[in-house]
Amino acid sequence: MVFLLTRRTQKFLPCLVNLRKVNRCLVTGKRCQLCHTAQASAADSPRGEETSYPLYPGHIPTSPLQKALLAAGSACMALYNPYRHDMVAVLGETTGYLALHNLRERMKKDPEGHRILQERPRIRLSTLDITGLQALPEGTFGREYVRFLDDNRVSPDTRMPTKFVDDEELAYVVQRYREVHDLMHTLLGMPTNMLGEVTVKWFEAVQTGLPMCVLGALFGPVRLNARVLLRFCPVCLLTDDFTQ
């Protein structure tokens, strides 16, 4: 997932969910338009520094103190109610700069990851060929992805837009991470219940190093009973083994 679902993911797909084929052409979208109007000003601003002007549509510039307060508040709310996706999103943005920077650098060193950063595809209903995905053979990644969306009544369009990342390119990396979250559920064969979410968070924590994922992986199991934990632990070990 370091390259956010590229060809490297295909190496362990059959081991996890017995999928036979990945059709990436049908799950990539058009070039993202997070912010091309502010690229010039963003390029002149040192990466990671506080800015007083928006760098992309929806961007809310914040000081380090404001980020710390947002991180603390969102962490408390996310632990209290893990289904508060807005709080989880804020926590990820306000604590993930170093991890996002590392992700971007690793993507730049990979030809396919570099291409993703250049073209900035989006995963949305408007960019997916749903009919084409539904027509794929049973067991293929595209077909299972559409089945996951239907069975769990979720949509890639519900992902929160990036707001608090003070770097236009890293803002896209965050958005890409969110939009492949449902692909991670499909990849791991996990539902959207608490067990499924915690399992996916363990996988994402190992792959991305995002503090938000690490916190979710560590504290999420508190809400699981002993019987579920016994079922959960082997999955975590299996996930870690395949990601080494």
Q: What are 200-224's pLDDT values in tens digits?
A: 999 999 999 999 999 988 887 776 6
Mean pLDDT of the chain: 80
8 pLDDT band, cuts 50/70/90, is very low
Q: What is the mean pLDDT of residues 60-77?
A: 95
Nearest to 4 by CA among 152, 187, 189, 139: 187
Predicted local distance difference test score (pLDDT) of residue 82? 82
Cα–Cα dist 181/204, whole Å? 9
pTM of the predicted protein model: 0.74
Residues paired with 40 in a beta bridge: none
Percent of the chain with pLDDT over 90: 59
Predicted local distance difference test score (pLDDT) of residue 52? 72
Residue 197, marked binder: yes
Predicted local distance difference test score (pLDDT) of residue 12? 41
Q: What is the mean pLDDT of residues 169-198?
A: 93
Residue 181, marked binder: yes
29 pLDDT band, cuts 50/70/90, is very low
Q: Map out the domains of the chain as residue ranges.
A: 7-242
Phi/psi of residue 22, nearest 5 degrees? -110, 125
Nearest to 74 by CA among 61, 89, 62: 89
34 pLDDT band, cuts 50/70/90, is very low
161 has a pLDDT exceeding 80:
yes
Q: What is the mean pLDDT of residues 56-81?
A: 93
Cα–Cα dist 170/241, whole Å? 28
Predicted local distance difference test score (pLDDT) of residue 3? 52
Residue 185, marked binder: yes
Q: Which residue has the higher pLDDT, 155 or 18?
A: 155
Residue 157, marked binder: no
Q: What is the mean pLDDT of residues 47-73?
A: 86
Predicted local distance difference test score (pLDDT) of residue 79? 85
pLDDT in tens, 80-129: 888 889 999 999 999 999 999 999 999 999 999 999 999 999 999 999 99
